[in-house]
Amino acid sequence: MTTAHEAGVRTAKAPALDFDAIVIGAGMSGMYQLYRLRKLGLRVRVLEAGTRVGGTWYWNRYPGARFDSESYSYGYSFSQELLDEWDWSEHFSGQPEIERYCNLVADKFNLNRDIQFSARVVSAVYDETGQFWTVSLADGTHYRARFMITAIGLLSAPTMPRFEGIDDFQGPWCHTGLWPKEGISYEGKRVAVIGTGASGVQAIQEIAKTAGQLTVFQRRPNWCTPLHNRPISKEEMAEIRAGYPELFELCRETAACFIHTIDPRGTFEVTEEERLAFWENRYAGQGFGIWQGNFRDMMIDREANRLMSDFVADKIRQRVKDPKTAELLIPKDHGFGTRRVPQETHYFEVYNQPNVKLISMLEEPIERITQTGLRTSAQDYDFDVIIYATGFDAVTGSFDRIDIRGTGGQCLKDRWAGGPKTFVGVMIDSFPNMFMIMGPHAALGNNPRSIEYNVEWIRDLIGHMSDRGLTHTEAVPEAVAEWNDFVHVKAEGLLSNEIDSWMTGINMNVEGKQTRTIVRYSGSAPEYRARCDEVAAGGYRELRFL
Ligand SMILES: Cc1cc2nc3c(=O)[nH]c(=O)nc-3n(C[C@H](O)[C@H](O)[C@H](O)COP(=O)(O)OP(=O)(O)OC[C@H]3O[C@@H](n4cnc5c(N)ncnc54)[C@H](O)[C@@H]3O)c2cc1C
């Protein structure tokens, strides 16, 4: 078989390239891209800022970090051997287990030999004459490669709040997404958690178990619903394993690649009794079933969404004893599911504990961090530990942190200042030979299902080039404009696009991210894949090759 080397990837105008391809990031995306490109015969180097593989599951070591996807629907599907070998211990496994899984994958496929750890990429510049990328690390090292693939994550750039005095605090503090490997001791201590998004909710319900006093600072509540996690027995795992082909087939068919299927009925096509029984069933069911498996009009019909929101609000009122606290925990500014739904295990009951207190930052804003704690508009609080669960500069944040320059020295951050524009979330005009996994405007959902698809699409495109001795490709502007229009059409009418959230490009803690943009493709994953398949089958007419 002709390898990419023989077919011409290295016979281009710049012979002294260090690698055929550089992949940035060694999470689920980067690991799989390395595996696939190696099989194509390419010399690949993965550059990873962390000291081991895993990405999200390497960095997010905070107490309670775990899956929202069913574990078995999240793992890689590409290797039968791996599927046979690995047992998940819980329906929604925790970070330590997921990290072990990522390391097993790296060991099994001998990935680590091509991954350079502690290697933070700070810039990437395309050389038009030589048709290669020069990728530079924080320590000043440079590498040259024909292709550059970003696998840098959509939730991998942690953001801190813009409070004064953060460094003044004398006790231990950290962001949930940068939790130290040696851990932080909080048992019996006075702990502050700032932020109640998905990470905050997971951390709060865990920390509350042993903290002496936990004070939660909430800017805005989210619609949290029960995870209903449980262990997987050996027998159950055997059943899951036998059903993997059907499970992955199901994930290929659903809109967001989860095992949950949207109910084809409209909210008002059933009686009130049926509707409530359906929602009770979903509330008692596991995972994102209540979000991704709700009535088909839940995210577009205001009245349907209002009724669903009322249903969940009543659950919160039933579970939280103090009525004032319950009201603080019920979102008033957005409907159910229009922002990411944090999944919880006894989260609301935490606020019935005597050692837990909720402060609404809308009523009592934090003014500054002090040496011994923090000051709000009402009073000074003393803490032993402060935890920032303040989320990420999502989707484009990890791109903005690298100085990426395409043809004519164009800067990607400037190019995307008014919102990202891509071709199928994988390519950008004027940024040749650059491919993105989980880029803006690609299908997301249960991520690994989309990651595997993106990686294989990129692999096929590079293979196509290798077979023909092509050394340069980029999306034509018309194709980018057409995809952008399609993404915007798909976003129309969605209630989630009327809400400030990371899904609409808003992050109050990041300069320049206060205006809503469409950063997410909201069509279905099958529709996305159909378009990408069509491009490949048509010989990539939307791309320009040299
Ligand atoms: C707490 C949490 C829970 C989640 N739970 C789920 C879930 O249940 N289901 C789901 O589908 N998704 C979940 N996600 C989304 C999750 O990010 C993806 O599932 C998945 O991990 C994406 O893999 P990735 O390789 O694309 O990105 P990441 O895992 O984010 O990996 C990106 C890697 O790139 C590296 N990197 C970034 N910039 C640079 C640079 N400049 N130089 C060098 N290296 C760099 C990072 O260090 C990181 O290791 C969750 C995210 C978080 C934060």
- Residues with Cβ within 8 Å of residue 282, at least 6 apart in sequence: 289, 290, 293, 294
The predicted pLDDT at position 15 comes to 55
> Which atom of ligand 1 is closest in space to residue 137's alpha carbon?
42
Which of 447, 454, 455, 520 gets mutated to test ligand 1 (max ligand atoms within 8 A of its CB)?
447
What is d(CA 419, CA 412) in angstroms, rounded to the nearest whole number?
11
pLDDT tens by residue, 176-185? 999 999 999 9
Segments of 335-429 assigned E as strands: 343-344, 356-360, 366-369, 373-376, 380-382, 385-388, 403-405
> Which atom of ligand 1 is closest in space to residue 69's alpha carbon?
8
pLDDT tens by residue, 329-365? 999 999 999 999 999 999 999 999 999 999 999 999 9
Residue 503: is its pLDDT beyond 80?
Answer: no
Q: Which H/E stretch holds residue 342?
A: none
The predicted pLDDT at position 501 comes to 82
Residue 130 gets the label, from left (phi > 0), alpha (psi -120 to 50) or beta, of: alpha
> Which atom of ligand 1 is closest in space to residue 31's alpha carbon?
25
Residue ID of nearest Cα to ligand 1 atom 3 = 67
> Which atom of ligand 1 is closest in space to residue 198's alpha carbon?
1
How far is ligand 1, taken at its centre, from the CA of residue 44, in Å? 20
What is d(CA 465, CA 468) in angstroms, rounded to the nearest whole number?
5
What is d(CA 262, CA 471) in angstroms, rounded to the nearest whole number?
43
The C-alpha R_g of the chain, in whole angstroms, comes to 24
How far is ligand 1, taken at its centre, from the CA of residue 49, in Å? 12
**Total-model pTM:** 0.96
Q: Is 446 in the pocket of ligand 1 (CB under 6 A)?
A: yes
Residue 313, classed as helix, strand or coil, is helix
Average pLDDT of the chain is 95
Q: Is 150 in the pocket of ligand 1 (CB under 6 A)?
A: no
Q: How confident is the model at residue 1 (pLDDT cuts 50, 70, 90)?
A: very low
How far is ligand 1, taken at its centre, from the CA of residue 417, in Å? 23
CA-CA-CA-CA torsion sign (494, 497, 498, 502):
positive
Q: Give the lowest-confidence range in 44-48, 312-316, 494-498, 530-534.
A: 494-498
Q: Is 155 in the pocket of ligand 1 (CB under 6 A)?
A: yes
Residue ID of nearest Cα to ligand 1 atom 47 = 49
Residue ID of nearest Cα to ligand 1 atom 33 = 25
Helix axes 525-537, 447-468, angle to 10 degrees: 10
| Of the candidates 306, 297, 310, the residue with the CA atom closest to the CA atom of residue 268 | 297
pLDDT tens by residue, 194-214? 999 999 999 999 999 999 999
| Of the candidates 443, 463, 440, the residue with the CA atom closest to the CA atom of residue 453 | 443
What is d(CA 44, CA 172) in angstroms, rounded to the nearest whole number?
39
pLDDT tens by residue, 47-68? 999 999 999 999 999 999 999 9
pLDDT tens by residue, 370-420? 999 999 999 999 999 999 999 999 999 999 999 999 999 999 999 999 899
How far is ligand 1, taken at its centre, from the CA of residue 56, in Å? 4
**Cβ contact 300:338 at 8 Å:** no
The predicted pLDDT at position 74 comes to 98
User: In this prediction, what percent of the chain has a pLDDT beyond 70?
Assistant: 97
- Residues with Cβ within 8 Å of residue 228, at least 6 apart in sequence: 91, 284, 285, 286, 287, 345
Q: Is 67 in the pocket of ligand 1 (CB under 6 A)?
A: yes
What is d(CA 27, CA 475) in angstroms, rounded to the nearest whole number?
26
The predicted pLDDT at position 219 comes to 95
> Which atom of ligand 1 is closest in space to residue 451's alpha carbon?
26
Segments of 25-180 assigned E as strands: 44-47, 115-116, 121-127, 132-137, 142-150, 173-175
**Residue corresponding to tokens 């990607």:** 412
Strands 473-475 and 543-545: antiparallel
